[in-house]
Amino acid sequence: MSTKNQAKEFFVEAIIDKRVNLKGQVEYLIKWEDYSIEDATWEPLENVFNLKALFEEFEKKRSKLNTTENNINKESFQTEEILEFLSEDKIPSKVLSVKMFENKLICLCEFSESSTGIIPDPCYIPSSILRENHPKILIDYYETKIRFVNKK
């Protein structure tokens, strides 16, 4: 009986994050089916196969919702997509800053750890959505900015 090195197949449950490694290669953090989040691994694109739809969905959500302070775009503030993003076990925990964008107040929010063990990157959320869905964190932020002056 001969023994051959057979590659075991693993199935992707989710694409969690993306980075560029020190060699300049794009890698994705992969959550493997039937494995815990602690077993997720960073994989270059050539190591994973037949995931075009998952990659497209990941990139679409990432480009629309994970804006940075210097890169705000109009697509980031489509209410339905923000509410969908927030309802997927992503709960804002703190407002980091507030600024005006196209005459609307937007809040840079950080998030609590999700049930999968991942902490989403901070992103901008319109204050109107926070007021309606998560008013406490908005109030907490404004309370840190209040300064009382004693008049004598």
Tens digit of each residue's pLDDT (9 = 90 or more) over 7-39: 677 888 888 777 777 777 888 888 888 888 788
Confidence band (pLDDT; 50, 70, 90) for 136?
very high
Question: pTM for the complete prediction?
Answer: 0.48
pLDDT of residue 73: 52
The share of the chain scoring above pLDDT 70, in percent, equals: 80
Instruction: Please give the Cα distance from 29 to 69 (Å, whole number).
Output: 24
pLDDT of residue 139: 92
**Average model confidence (pLDDT) across the chain:** 77
The more confidently predicted of residues 135 and 36 is 135
Per-domain residue ranges of the chain? 10-65, 67-147
The per-residue pLDDT for range 35-73, each reduced to its tens digit, is 887 888 888 878 877 777 787 777 776 665 554 444 555
Q: Do the domains at 10-65 and 67-147 have one common CATH topology?
A: yes
pLDDT of residue 21: 74
Instruction: Please give the Cα distance from 14 to 33 (Å, whole number).
Output: 8
Confidence band (pLDDT; 50, 70, 90) for 113?
confident
Report CA 47 to chain centroid distance, whole Å. Answer: 23
91 pLDDT above the threshold of 50: yes
CATH architecture for the domain at 10-65: Beta Barrel (2.40)
Topology, domain 67-147: OB fold (Dihydrolipoamide Acetyltransferase, E2P) (2.40.50)
Instruction: Please give the Cα distance from 45 to 39 (Å, whole number).
Output: 18
Instruction: Please give the Cα distance from 28 to 43 (Å, whole number).
Output: 5
135 pLDDT above the threshold of 50: yes
Which of 96, 119, 111, 95 lies closest to 37 in space, CA to CA? 119
